[in-house]
Amino acid sequence: MGNYHQFDVVVIGAGGAGLMAALYASKTASTAVLSKLYPTRSHTGTAQGGVGAALGNEGEDHPEWHTFDTVKGSDYLGDQDAIEFMCFEAVQAVYELEHYGLPFSRTPDGRIAQRPFGGHTNNVTGKPVSRACYAADRTGHMILQTLYQQCIKNHVNFYDEYQVLDMLIENGAAAGVIALELATGELHTFHAKAIIIATGGHGRIWEITSNAYTFTGDGPAIAMRRGIPLEDMEFFQFHPTGIYRLGILITEGVRGEGGILVNDKGERFMEKYAPKVKDLASRDVVSRAMYLEMREGRGIGGKRYLYLDMRPETVNKYAALDGRKRTDGSPYMVTGEELLSKLPDIVDFARTYLGVDPVAQPMPIQPTAHYAMGGIPTNKLGEVVIDEGNTVLPGLYAAGECACVSVHGANRLGTNSLLDLIVFGKYAGLQAAEFSRGASFQTLPSDPTDNIRQQLDLIRNSDGEEKAYTISNEMKAVMFDEVGVFRSQEGMQKALDKVHELQERLKHVRRPDQGKIFNTELINTWELGNLLDLAEITTVSALRRTESRGGHAREDFPSRDDANWLKHTLAWNKDGAISLGYKPVTITKYQPKERVY
Amino acid sequence: MQVTLKIFRYNPETDKKPHYAKYKLEAEPTDRVLDLLEYVKGNFDGTLSFRRSCAHGICGSDAMRINGRNRLACKMLVHELHSSKITVEPILGLAIIKDLIVDMEPFFANYRSVMPYFVNDEPAPKQERLQSPEDRERFDDTTKCILCACCTASCPSFWANDEYAGPAAIVAAHRFIFDSRDRAAAERLEILNQQFGVYRCHTIFNCTDACPREIQVTRAIGEVKRAIATGKID
């Protein structure tokens, strides 16, 4: 067998979760990381505002509060045992990153600096608490760099620009993966005792998104085709502040530092929707409020955007009205210079892409498709579980955005994605290495690349008139309009019909690049197939859930319905036919109650 | 506005030598050059190959030569070019694999050569290691590097000899040398004091001009040179 490799543990994806997993797995097991990008290109690097942990460096805080806020943020769909585990592990995990050298910003006494973020509160007063540990507004960049650097230090094996296309499951256990080496077009077989899927999200389904071109849901799509269900796919987060028309993320940290959202009448409209925490409500709440404002004609100039205002005079005016204080008890006042030093990249993005200096002018923003709460079902140790009874698939792990533990439930809190990566990446790595010690390699089929060669040949030999570019644009438009912030039966059915049409049309794309070397057209077309399949399963899951919860807001079913829907969706795609099942939510300490901010 | 995009094309599987292909298309002044490349790939020629991912200047995938200067295609807007003629070519000094894609391995090998990772073997405290805001600020500029290679591929010394570590690798070393928590500065300075280290830098400033993160690259290299010369890190 040509191009055959053997490792105890194979990690797919080199973002925060994949690198953390690799760092831990490689301590005791032979480990390879396969990534379609150079690791430092991974999307973790674009995370800005901070990683959540109740260090209490800038005001009283407790992991219990973090746990409750996350449960509430999830609209009670998160599994409380897993949430508690993550929030208690958070503190040590952040110290560990610091010990790896991560250059956090610092408080005057030299500790890790922290800032407020949406949905994170002092559980006694209900006021915002500073829980987001940050490195200016490039926290994700620093996490990605630091973990990659530690992997270099620890001689982790990297296969950069290897696109994973298929996964092999033999005798009910993980057996290996198939990857295409982009530089040569050769297929490689990686025989493994344990596989960790850490491929990130799939926000490229939607027209306006903060997500990278390469965020195409490869891991969930591959898993789905191998019979693994996907959990809670109807829950996708729309971040309130994307740059108008481009969707580029403007961190919630802007509001953490005192920025506010403003409508066409100059009103700070979040006061109406979240009287206590206002602009720092959960993301689903804020995005819905923005849509309602725009629907009532209060978008700027009647258009589909609003303003995010972080001019010092605005920040100081509203901080005074809110009675906001610094940790030393003095009134909260900022200067343009301070905002520049805390949010330098935001200032750069606004100048580059909007032509706006945010210290002098407000920024035009709109909600942007941002984060998948749903994904490959796992337990809190990162083991993939494949049915209503949480049966573990031996040797298969998933972590990060592609996974659904579920710690984010129906809506993720800001800063909890970076936390998810480091906590569950670490445990997936540890578990996979431990598993591989006691396991043997599964026997591979005689021609392990046969399945994927057939898939690729279908694309390569296509000779139709369709352009993948057009299909992609049509998918994004209908999904953004109909399976976005607000949804309805009629709209979602329209989207589903369209997705089915596009899946059919994708079989008739024009003849693509026939070469072997960096055939990006072939790969992009395959990726588009992933996005369409995930758009389909998202919409089917969403149509069935006849309630509103977190990121899934239905005009025709505006209330949360705990009696019928306090449960996780599982969706299988068996040869194109989607079937749904459900499993209970784990509730330990916090009984569901009405969610107000 | 109508723009003419002239793109360097080379496919080693079909072309004997490189050539330029011209595409005329409609563009908004606020379009990114990357948007135009995507449009050409999606509508005119799917074989056009380039790297891209985040599309907003953070991942560092799409460094290329745009009208002769190293830029990220996702951070260069059409109106900033002040011309309707846009020429896009691969960055220099690294072997061309296909179209705008170059071999990044020598670049990353140089990066790895300078110990680009935190070293401190003293027992870590239970909580964070303390660092004053001033000490943190000392190396802030060089933490911004995204390893896009705009700087290194603009450096005549690197073009002349790719064994020269190059600006990006020195920036990476600087980030750790000036971090008050790190303990391996002496080893890194020793590496950069060798034949292919900092003294290949002739202060041409191309790197500083090229950096999409506005890192003061030449200054960082100067600080490393001074640390080697004086044996002091300040």
**Full 3-state SS string of A26-86:** CCCCCEEEEECCCHHHCHHHHCCCCEECCCCCCCCCCHHHHHHHHHHHCCCCCCHHHHHHH
Q: Could you say which residues from 137 to 176 on chain B have a Cβ atom under 8 Å away from some Cβ of chain A?
A: 139-140, 143-144, 146-147, 175-176
- DSSP designation for A352: I
The count of structural domains within chain A is 2
Domains of chain B, earliest start first: 2-102 (3.10.20.30), 105-230 (1.10.1060.10)
The residues, ordered by sequence, that sit 6+ positions from A125 with a Cβ below 8 Å of its Cβ are none
State ipTM.
Answer: 0.98
Residue that finishes a domain, picked among A366, A381, A412: A366
Q: Is B198 helix (H, G, I), strand (E, B) or coil?
A: helix
**A506: chain B residues, CB-CB within 8 Å:** none
Q: In the numeric block, which tokens belong to residue B233?
A: 């890190």
Q: Is residue A339 included in any domain, yes or no?
A: yes
Q: Is B43 on the interface with A (CB under 8 A)?
A: yes
**B140: chain A residues, CB-CB within 8 Å:** 103, 136
The shortest CB-CB distance from B60 to any of A40, A108, A135 is to A40
Give the residue ranges of DSSP H helices in A100-175.
139-153
Residue closest to A120 by CA, chosen among A267, A224, A252, A290: A252
- B contact test, residue of A184, A243, A520 with most B CBs within 10 A: A520
The amino acid present at A460, given as its one-letter code, is: R
Q: Is A214 on the interface with B (CB under 8 A)?
A: yes
Q: Give, in order, the Cα–Cα distances in Å from A214 to each of A158, A584, B51.
A: 19, 33, 10
Q: How far apart are CA B89 and CA B66, in angstroms?
A: 7
Q: How are beta strands A363-372 and A157-160 bridged, if at all?
A: unpaired
Q: Is A468 on the interface with B (CB under 8 A)?
A: yes
Residue that finishes a domain, picked among A321, A350, A366: A366
A141 CA to chain B: closest CA distance, Å? 8
Beta-carbon contacts below 8 Å between A and B: 158
Residue that finishes a domain, picked among A333, A366, A399: A366
Q: How far apart are CA A444 and CA A550, in angstroms?
A: 42
Q: Is residue A125 included in any domain, yes or no?
A: no
Q: Could you say which residues from 91 to 130 on chain B have a Cβ atom under 8 Å away from some Cβ of chain A?
A: 97-99, 101, 104, 108, 112, 116-120, 124, 126-130
Q: Is B11 on the interface with A (CB under 8 A)?
A: yes
- Give the active site residues of A: 283
Q: Is B179 on the interface with A (CB under 8 A)?
A: yes
* Cis, peptide link before residue A406, omega less than 30° from 0: yes
What is the pLDDT at residue B201?
A: 94
What is the pLDDT at residue B98?
A: 98
CA angle A98, A210, A531 (to 5 degrees): 110
Q: Is residue A147 included in any domain, yes or no?
A: no
* Helical (H) or strand (E) element with A173: strand A173-181
Q: Residue A301: which domain range?
A: 242-366
Q: Is residue A95 included in any domain, yes or no?
A: no
What is the pLDDT at residue A1?
A: 56
B14 CA to chain A: closest CA distance, Å? 9
Please check whether residues A248 and A359 belong to one and the same domain.
Answer: yes
* Helical (H) or strand (E) element with A348: helix A344-349
Q: Is residue A179 included in any domain, yes or no?
A: no
The shortest CB-CB distance from B42 to any of A141, A469, A513 is to A469
Domain CATH number, residue A330: 3.90.700.10
Closest residue, chain B, to A511 (C-alpha): B46
Q: How far apart are CA A591 and CA A572, in angstroms?
A: 30
Task: Please indicate, yes or no, whether the overall pTM of this predicted structure exceeds 0.95.
Answer: yes
What is the pLDDT at residue B234?
A: 79
Q: Is B44 on the interface with A (CB under 8 A)?
A: no
- A contact test, residue of B52, B114, B117 with most A CBs within 10 A: B117
Q: Give, in order, the Cα–Cα distances in Å from B8 to each of B19, B21, B87, B103.
A: 6, 7, 8, 16
Please give the full DSSP string across A521-590, using - where no structure is assigned: HHHHHHHHHHHHHHHHHHHHHHHH--S-BTTBEESSS-S--HHHH-EEEEEEEETTEEEEEEEEPP-SS-
The shortest CB-CB distance from A513 to any of B38, B46, B112 is to B46
List, in sequence order, every residue forming a beta bridge with A168; answer none if it has no partner: A176
**B124: chain A residues, CB-CB within 8 Å:** 95, 99
Entry field: residues in chain A: 597
Q: Is A88 on the interface with B (CB under 8 A)?
A: no
Q: Could you say which residues from 385 to 404 on chain A have a Cβ atom under 8 Å away from some Cβ of chain B?
A: none
Q: Is A37 on the interface with B (CB under 8 A)?
A: yes
- B contact test, residue of A42, A48, A96, A106 with most B CBs within 10 A: A106
pLDDT, one tens digit for every residue, chain A (597 residues):
579 999 999 999 999 999 999 999 999 999 999 999 999 999 999 999 999 999 999 999 999 999 999 999 999 999 999 999 999 999 999 999 999 999 999 999 999 999 999 999 999 999 999 999 999 999 999 999 999 999 999 999 999 999 999 999 999 999 999 999 999 999 999 999 999 999 999 999 999 999 999 999 999 999 999 999 999 999 999 999 999 999 999 999 999 999 999 999 999 999 999 999 999 999 999 999 999 999 999 999 999 999 999 999 999 999 999 999 998 899 999 999 999 999 999 999 999 999 999 999 999 999 999 999 999 999 999 999 999 999 999 999 999 999 999 999 999 999 999 999 999 999 999 999 999 999 999 999 999 999 999 999 999 999 999 999 999 999 999 999 999 999 999 999 999 999 999 999 999 999 999 999 999 999 999 999 999 999 999 999 999 999 999 999 999 999 999 999 999 999 999 989 999 999 999 999 999 999 999
Q: What is the percent of chain B with per-residue pLDDT over 70, rounded to a whole number?
A: 100
Domain CATH number, residue A490: 1.20.58.100
Please check whether residues A250 and A347 belong to one and the same domain.
Answer: yes
Q: Please compute, for residue A533, the number of CA atoms within 13 A of its CA located in the half-sphere on the CB side.
A: 27
**Could you give phi then psi for residue B177, rounded to 5 degrees?**
-60, -40
